[in-house]
Amino acid sequence: MEKRINQIENTEKRFMMIFITLQNILYFIVVSYYWGTDSTISIWLNILFVFAFIVNYLLGKYSANDGRDLYVLILCTINITIVFIMISLTGHKDSPFMPMYYLPSISFAAMVMSRVRHGAILWIIMLGVVYTGLNMYFSNAEFTEWIRAGVYIISYFTLGYSVMFLQVRLRHMAYHLKIDYLTNLYNKKTGEQMIEEQLLEAKDTGSPVSICFCDIDDFKTVNDKHGHLFGDFILKKIATLMKNNLPENASVVRWGGDELLIILKGFKKNEASEIMESIRIMIEEESFIYDKQALKITISAGVVEAADLNYDVLKVLSEADKLLYRSKNDGKNQIRVLK
């Protein structure tokens, strides 16, 4: 389902790029019809068309990358400003591009900026409002034409926010499909995809990656004796402790029940073992207090390095699981590493 949502988003952007390209071609025909191909205004308009196409291409490229929010906002601002210049050059309210060239600019901005703060799309819409007002003002618009401009402006808000909220809903759906509802860790389905991707990347690049299976010692006894709410509290607290104390590029997956999978990208097995040992000690020293009940909790774990098993996903998971149960059979509250 998550993959399907990503496909929908990518297809939507591709179609938008196709439609924008077709729009520019049609507008080029309009320019040629109204102003010929040799006039100064025609030359400037065609230059602006080229700039607009380049900006839209960059928007499609940068919108797929996290950390490029400022670039996306700047590009959207440049894009709608180019539209304003083109409409101004061709007669303001009497321009053949008014207001239809504002609408796709706003909708495309809403699509690519749904990852950015919601105020960003408001900024683009308000620019459209201001530019539309300037187009009407500089062409001495009559009262009825100002009313028509008001209809355009309402359309900007309706279209922009409809597209943005659709994109936000799609991303929220994708997020909740990836996350375990109780612990806010990745769920098993996502974890299976992640480990395949991480092992394939590590094999291609030669970078180390270690995998760890761990679970809570005597967790069934805790549930039976203290109740499932206490058990849920312990799971959530351990999940939070791990997310807050593991390396930034580590991924934690709730594999099932109280069993967790940790993907330690960039770490050899000895380094991964040291990291997990520090987590083990931290959990052992932590007090788990719920509804006036206090418990000491420990974990057991098994660690393997993917390179030792030729990056074979099934072998990696199987060996990590065997090491986990060996650590439990040998007395629990310990870490076992594949030799």
Q: What topology is assigned to 188-337 in CATH?
A: Alpha-Beta Plaits (3.30.70)
Long-range contacts of 174-181 (CB under 8 A, 24+ apart): 174/2, 174/5, 174/6, 177/1, 177/2, 177/5, 178/2, 180/254
Rounded distance between C-alpha atoms, residue 79 and residue 102, angstroms: 10
Per-residue pLDDT of the chain (339 residues; tens, 9 = 90+): 445 555 666 676 677 667 767 766 776 777 677 666 667 888 888 788 888 888 877 877 766 555 567 788 888 899 899 989 988 888 888 887 787 778 888 888 887 776 556 688 889 999 999 999 999 999 998 999 999 999 999 999 998 888 888 877 877 777 777 889 899 999 998 999 899 999 999 999 999 999 999 999 999 999 999 889 999 999 999 999 999 999 988 999 999 889 999 999 999 999 999 999 999 999 999 999 988 888 999 999 999 999 999 999 999 999 999 999 999 999 999 999 988
Asked if residue 320 lies in contact with residue 212, where contact means CB atoms within 8 angstroms, the answer is yes
Domain residue limits, the chain: 2-178, 188-337
Asked if residue 222 lies in contact with residue 234, where contact means CB atoms within 8 angstroms, the answer is yes
Residues in contact with 201: Cβ distance below 8 Å, sequence separation at least 6, in sequence order = 207, 209
In the structure encoding, which two tokens stand for residue 11, read together?
Answer: 């297809």
C-alpha distance across the termini of the chain, in Å: 39
Residue with tokens 């109740």: 227
Residue with tokens 């400037």: 44
The confidence score (pLDDT) of residue 55 equals 84
Rounded distance between C-alpha atoms, residue 204 and residue 195, angstroms: 14
Residue with tokens 């065609």: 46
The confidence score (pLDDT) of residue 129 equals 95
pTM: 0.64
Pairing of strands 209-216, 335-337: unpaired
| DSSP string covering 22-49 | HHHHHHHHHHHHHHTTTSHHHHHHHHHH
The confidence score (pLDDT) of residue 1 equals 46
The confidence score (pLDDT) of residue 7 equals 63
Kindly list the strands in the beta sheet with 335-337, ordered across the sheet, starting from the edge strand earlier in the chain.
Answer: 250-256, 259-265, 209-216, 299-305, 335-337
The three-state (H, E, C) secondary structure of 134-166, written as one string: HHHHHCCCCHHHHHHHHHHHHHHHHHHHHHHHH
Residue 17 phi, psi dihedral angles, 5° rounding: -65, -40
The confidence score (pLDDT) of residue 210 equals 96
